[in-house]
Amino acid sequence: MLTEQQVSHFNTYGFVILRQWLNPDELNTINAEVELRLSFTKRYTSPDDEPAYMSWPNLGPETPFLAGLPEDPRIYSTAEQLYGEDAVGLSCNAGSFVNETRWHPDADDFQLNGFKFAIYLQPLAADDGALRFIPGSHRRPFHDEVHRNIGESADHVCAVPAYSCETEPGDVVAFDFHLWHASWGGSTDRRMVSIIFIKNPHTPEEEQATRKAAAGNVQLRATLARNTFDTPGPEYHPHWLENPRKSPKRQHWIDRMGKLGYLDAPQPETTA
């Protein structure tokens, strides 16, 4: 659970840093599971002179700790505290980043609400890949003002005044979908685990926005899977969807994701 001060910080600035939420044993397990999944990517199976961004889901039986991490009370209780007791856990993904990330929000539609937990597995400072935030840019009208005025600075990360979110392994960063963020510098193997939750949509407008986001996410994740693996697997592993422990919380998420379109099959890849 977050303190009142942490909730206020998140609501005001769009993010909160949760220092040393993960202990060394948990980090060792996460690193081992990430390394295992990374070993099956094209980074290893089809190496290139120029390392590329790799991204994959962690919901299979070979990564049991990561597959269950969204159901950790520290994680889901924070989501429910910020977005309601029926908030929906969508995913636990991981990625290996290779360069800077330009300025962007994860969502522009304010009928879609949610946030991401980011868990970086290496120490990160301002110039070697730490997240940079424009505090308060998750709220209108400031969000839209940034959108209108950022222009070419979107590609020139350091030209934009920002807060550098320096972290150590064990820290967890939670930030709103609408918050403008970027990163600068970093190694060619900057590893991050991300856990995503959305506010359960209740109004027709919220549901429409969420369905649209789901359709886009299905196609995006399919593209990333093709770029990451020689033989891509499903985004949601059948073992996770079977919910073998009969978790009511996971089942709520699965049922809601199915109705919203997150479990739909991607459209076939088209060729020009």
pLDDT digits (tens, 9 = 90+) for 206-233: 999 999 999 999 999 999 999 999 999 9
The predicted-structure confidence for 3-48, as pLDDT tens digits, reads as follows 999 999 999 999 999 999 999 999 999 999 999 999 999 988 877 7
Report how far residue 137's alpha carbon sits from residue 145's, in angstroms, rounded to the nearest whole number: 9
pLDDT of residue 272: 52
| pLDDT confidence of residue 62 | 97
Helix-helix angle 73-83:4-13, to 10 degrees: 60
**Predicted local distance difference test score (pLDDT) of residue 171:** 98
In this predicted structure, what is the pLDDT of residue 72?
98
Would you state the pLDDT for residue 271?
56
Domains by residue range for the chain, with CATH: 4-260 (2.60.120.620)
Predicted pLDDT at 270: 65
Q: Which helix (H) or strand (E) holds 237?
A: none
C-alpha to C-alpha distance for 24 and 250, rounded to whole angstroms: 26
90 φ, ψ (degrees, to nearest 5): -95, -35
Rounded alpha-carbon distances, angstroms, from residue 86 to 167, 184, 197: 30, 35, 10
For the entire predicted model, the pTM comes to 0.94
Percent of the chain with pLDDT over 70: 98
Residue 152 CB contacts under 8 Å (≥ 6 apart), including other chains:
none
Helices (H) and strands (E) in the chain, counts: 9, 10
